[in-house]
Chains A and B, each alone.
Chain A
Amino acid sequence: MIRPAFVFNLLVVTSFPALCSGQATDPPDYEKQIKPLLARHCYICHGALQQKGGLRLDTADAIRKGGHSGPAVKPSDSAGSLLFQAISGSGEVTPMPYKRPRLSDAEIALLKRWIDAGCPAPENEVVDESLSRRYSHWAFLPPVRRPPPMVQGNDWVRTPIDRFILARLEAVGLAPSPEADRVTLIRRLSLDLLGLPPTPEEVAAFVNDPAPDAYERLVDRLLASPHYGERWGRLWLDVARYADSHGYSIDAPREIWKYRDWVIAAFNADLPYDRFVIEQMAGDMLPNATLEQRIATGFHRNTPINMEGGIDQEQFRNEAIYDRVNTTGTAFLGLTLSCARCHDHKFDPISQREYFQLFAFLNNCDEPTLDIATPDLIARRDALRSQIRVLEEEQNKYYLDKLSRMSEAEKSRVKPEIIAILSLGVEQRDEKQKQAVVEAFKDDPAVVERAKTLADLKKRLPKFPTTLVLQERPKPRETRLHIQGDFTRLGDPVSPGVPAVLHPLPSDPNPNRLTLAKWLVDPANPLLARVTVNRLWQAYFGKGLVETENDFGTQGEPPTHPELLDWLATEFIANGWSQKAIHRLIVTSAVYRQASRHRSDLVEKDPNNRLLARQNRLRLDAELVRDAALRASGLLHARIGGPSVFPPQPDGVYRFTQLQKTWNTSTGPDRYRRGMYIHFWRSAPYPALQVFDAPDGVNCCTRRTRSNTPLQALTLLNDEAFLEFAQALGRRLLREAPGSDADRIVLAYRLCLGRSPSPEESDRLLRFVEEQRKSFKEQPAEAAAFAGRTETATTDPIETAAWVALARVVLNLDEFITRE
């Protein structure tokens, strides 16, 4: 396991708006600098939609004219201008923006200079009403932290979150649900925080813990578990579109699991989210970047690579960058930037030009493969490689000489494929082709001798992991706008920049990818914290406070609890971007701890449970379906990280892919690793993951769908891997509960569901076991086949088969694959 060295010299993240272009003495540019600033902070109350105090600030004329209190500015006299007094908090006027965050010092200084310069502005400025509308969109305004509301049901309240939720419920006359029972709570918490169900011992310890803080201590223990990083890391890998192959048609394997492990370690270390973002966006550009910081840039190397013959390389280089822009938008801003690739965004204030300004930040990297080894080892590898290269060239020269000396008749006996291979350069031939040529000349001892030496050299090549990273080019590429999003139709050059609707870029003479990363995590960013806490919330309740978790733009759904969203977002920033702190806050809340049982009184008033008068039952994510079965059966090999693994999968997966994939089924412990470590081929994902809605690893995925299909049933009932889990669980029941049938059924329930069966359930399962025992007795061959490996020579295969059948039932229960 790697431990990222999160030593971070540089980062006192500056929220220093770079509002100064050119000389500090030049008057600020009204269109480029003053207007966006006023739009962001003031238009919501003093624009086309509203004119509080009779004042509007959306044209320079209107500013000069002022409102009920008189002109807003006295040109050349900032101190005497109402506008300046209001924003700087000097003078008698009410400080502005009213009840919203104040302008930054740099912004205030900029306005001051503009007023002192005489308020220069272009003639004939026209009112653009849409500007007011777009800038007034809630998500583009900074979050406002309001105190949690007062509520009637103070007894219920455990955290500030609960006040926001309860206030809404009380307003519509709904009561929250009672707290879930303790077994449900520990299973819910374990699945949510670790992605693994609790063991019976863990359940018993918690249920019997009389301490008033038993729940909070449980939360702390789980948050400190290394499995926390796996559970939450996997959700981040959805966003990062992580996969173990290149995608497109060839879909060759790739090695980038070091990035996956970096993510897990970052979550476990609770790496502050601002650093988490910066290192992934631009870790390579940090001063004295560590190995881990470079590995982190694998985030944007998860883009597919097209290796199909005959492609235009430049086209797919651009495709990857579009993807990086779009993913940056979705992951960190909750914005549908991709809409602005071909034209100005139809709904949100993002122009096509701004899209390509963002593109310009990301258009300047090389995409190397990083060797993860000691310098010695790398040097040895490189030396061997150059030896190999020399020898291969020598071999090739020998072939060509030989060919040129042949008579026409001799030549005609050489297969055309071989001639074709020899017409390629040595670099272009793959190993198979090289082997074919050796084979064709196998009568020539000189060829065979050299081939043998080469094979020996290749065998001696040291093996070590590699990973894909970004590396900034010393000289930036020129970025031009792509007319209608077509990279072959280049428009005007654009320089790196950010959408005007958002906060300004930090000051930097040569803004680059690192500047963009710092801009993303600037506390002035109204989106990053909101979008992130919303995704965390979504994982706990099934839907976010903003249901359109990937669209905070004007077409997205407004938040159900806007004050709560803003409270959480500001809390996130204030706590130093600690995700664990937010997790703790949410899972210790009363709203999270509610029972999930449906209530008839909610059907009318809140059919979709948006007000959260109860918890939601959620089907487990694809990997967790496997993980839960591994844990219950006792097979789980809990190793964290490392190369991807190949557990059994059904035959025939690759009959539908262009190229056959290798799937050397893991034997030994790797067969029983968690679902997140299964090698993910983009063109043909592991079927048991795919049927349970694992994302495709191609597009940034911020929310998984939860389908419920017959193919899922077939997987749990019949898949080889799941049969193996049932067999192991059956054997475990026999081994660990040697008493009565009823005891074994209790153990099965405790291992799988955390709880004990009801008498009815127990009776029904007892009848089932008896029925199976009887029929296996009549069909001993079926019993032997179904029971699989039996524990010892003396274990009765019929008895084992009956308990495997029972185990298979429990592993197929809806409750087993559901977080209640």
Chain B
Amino acid sequence: MTFLRSREAVLTGALLVLLALIATRFPGFIAPANLAAVFNDTAPLIILALGQMVVILTRCIDLSVAANLALCGMVAALLNVAFPGLPVVVIVAAVTALGAALGAVNGLLVWKVGIPPIVVTLGTLTIFRGVIFLISDGAWVNAHQMTDPFKALPRSALLGLPVMSWCAIAVIVGTAVLVWRTALGRSFYAVGGNPHAAVYTGIDVGRTQFTAFVLSGALAGLTGYLWVARYAVAYVDIAAGFELDVIAACVIGGIGIAGGIGSVGGAVLGALFLGVIKNALPVVDISPFWQMAISGAAIITAVILNSRTRRAKGRLILRQTEGHA
């Protein structure tokens, strides 16, 4: 627990240094209102990173989150166009359920068919994008076709913050309770940390992984609605490549790709770190040709920092095995 805490401390420190650096070039960035806007802009990344964290904890990976998001977003938009009278809450519930179902497809293929998660989700990634093309006929759903309540929900303010931010906060709290306080949450760690031992303690590894995929899918479905409503447009390519941002956020946040290691705080900080970079680059007046290099360097630096922290107090069993090999 102490080492978990220290990794989050390192990340928090890095985030503060980053904010300080940005403030020297653009002081307005650290104004509370702007920080709230940055948090709001990062909300989709936070939500997806938490779903991805749970999946990675079980030694799996979900590459299909962005495609799932795009498909659910498109379905939300099409539902809104086809039935303008449908309450937005119903649409949100429907696409969250759809996202969960899509996640269940991933989960079943991993659990029952035994295909490696990276292959399964690489396949479903393409299939989901293809399905968007089929259901939308390749056409965009544009702002003027969507109803006003549909577009208004994520940005309507509640106690000073937009609903989209509250969704992220709710997901953070929910995931924290899930992984810390429930048997299922602990079994995510057990399955990823040592699958064999998990089996002996009576945990069904496949079922746990399945549950993780369903959770990740449901969160992607919810984010799909938020994304489409926020940018007021739905098309095949929305959130293209976003799965890589989500995984990067997890990696920066210290979620071990080998499974079993990671915390809600880490995932959230990792997402915020990327979110701050994404939002700061446009205002600090750096040549766009450098922007990608800077993002990449930040990821690698963060990962090195993380692995150092872990190496100091890491898993002894692994180190000994390495020594003998």
Is the A/B pair a real complex?
A: no
Binding site for A on B (CB under 8 A): none
Binding site for B on A (CB under 8 A): none
